[in-house]
Amino acid sequence: MLYDVEQVRVDFPILGTEVYPGIPLVYLDSAASSQKPTVVIEAMDKYYRTSHANVHRGVHRLSELATTAYEGARATVARFIGAAEPEQIIFVGNATEGFNLVAQSWGRTNIGPGDEILLTEMEHHANIVPWQMLAQEKGATIRYLPVTDDGYLVLDKLDEFLSERTRLFSFAAVSNVLGTINPVWELVDAAHRVGALAMIDAAQSVPHMAVDVQALDCDFLAFSSHKMCGPTGIGVLYGKRELLQAMPPFLGGGDMIRRVTFDGFLPNDLPWKFEAGTPRIAEAIGLGAAVDYLSSLDMDAVHAHEQAVTGYALESLSEVPGLTLLGPPGDHRGGLAAFTIEGLHPHDIAEVLDKDGIAIRAGHHCAMPLHHRLGLNASARASFYVYTTFEEVDKLTRALHRARSVFRLN
């Protein structure tokens, strides 16, 4: 059942603003970073106004309040993704830091010469570069599962790319360029059959659909707060307890230790051994508020809304002359539409649309290898979220027709 999108839009103050005088904002860049509802802004403001203190270290009242709120946010996130316990939730700076943590902690301990790491051709740089750095250091090899021209993983070749040498298969649940919704459970299961671990880039899935890490049986999963109505500066790494327990600390300093001497240190328990220094307290509280907000909408309803908007957008955009959509049909993709228009550079498209108050993305979207695979230098991308309306899609389509006129393509 769909919710009332107009009522949802009231919750986001920025959606009522004008980009230029008389030009209202049409925000179609949520895959890069979503907007924030009032409840998230107020939760962080309340913390700073009424209970700011450092966590875990103080016995005074403010520290106790801050600690309760911070650890409460962790428990909220754990429930949201179906983790067995809050201790499996590591607060990191963003999804990128989550991948780097696993690469530098688990990877340095478990990857050696001759080992293989399997990725896919549709990955974000955050799920490529940390593994390239690790492979270069350790003498390991990275392989890439191919992508078809219409945006699907070549699953019938999966057995050719997974072997007894594979130590990790790390992949996106949803492509941030193609929008492809991958068969996550099937990919996790395939990795486990050869004894490899499975890590999921959930930056484009957790904000948009229900995710249950226990049902998926993934070993690691990472996502960012700022793409799911939460603040910037914080993300989540989920890991199975036995893996996190065995991994050495990623960063050293305060709070990640139980004891320090001049001769060495004893690391703290989970999850704190991976959260060195003063943590992202306000940001965690904001993320917790964002999760509560999304839960109030119901993630099945969020996904249904985005599917409806995306299907409508794909149909509307296909009517723009010279426009080529990237990725699979609407029922196999998340809430975004990347495209090119013959004769127009994506940055020119974005610049013309901005004059109409329409915010889209233009460039390689931190997926240069995928664009190279598709024979492109860049693409334009409109992305949708809980607050996107059909009317905004209509404005996008009209503006693209205008862009063609501006550059005399009509």
Coil/strand/helix, residue 379: strand
pLDDT in tens, 97-116: 999 999 999 999 999 999 99
User: Active site residue: 194, 359, 366, 376, which one?
Assistant: 366
- 369: amino acid identity, one letter: P
Q: Which two tokens stand for residue 329?
A: 């049909």
The yes-or-no answer to whether 5-30+298-406 and 41-295 have a common fold is no
How far is the C-alpha of 312 from the C-alpha of 314, rounded, in Å?
A: 6
Overall pTM surpassing 0.95 (yes/no): yes
Q: Which two tokens stand for residue 272?
A: 């704190």
pLDDT in tens, 343-384: 999 999 999 999 999 999 999 999 999 999 999 999 999 999
**229 in active site:** no
Strand partners, 221: 200, 238
| Secondary structure element (H or E) that encloses residue 316, with its range | helix 299-317
How far is the C-alpha of 90 from the C-alpha of 274, rounded, in Å?
A: 7
Exposure pattern of 330-349 as b/e (b: 16+ CB <10 Å)? beebbbbbbbbbeebebebb
Q: Compute the CA torsion angle 121, 124, 129, 134 (nearest 10 deg).
A: -70
- The confidence score (pLDDT) of residue 406 equals 84
Domain ranges of the chain: 5-30+298-406, 41-295
The residues of the chain scoring below 70 in pLDDT are: 1, 408-410
- 280: amino acid identity, one letter: R
Is 201:172 a contact under the CB 8 Å cutoff? yes
Look-up of token digits 């013309």: 352
How far is the C-alpha of 282 from the C-alpha of 44, rounded, in Å?
A: 5
Q: Which CATH class is domain 41-295?
A: alpha beta
Distances (CA, A) of 52 to 49, 60, 232: 7, 12, 18
Nearest to 368 by CA among 174, 188, 124, 23: 124
- Alpha helix locations (H) across 51-107? 61-81, 95-101
Domain at 5-30+298-406: CATH code: 3.90.1150.10
Strands 26-27 and 358-359, bridge-based pairing: parallel
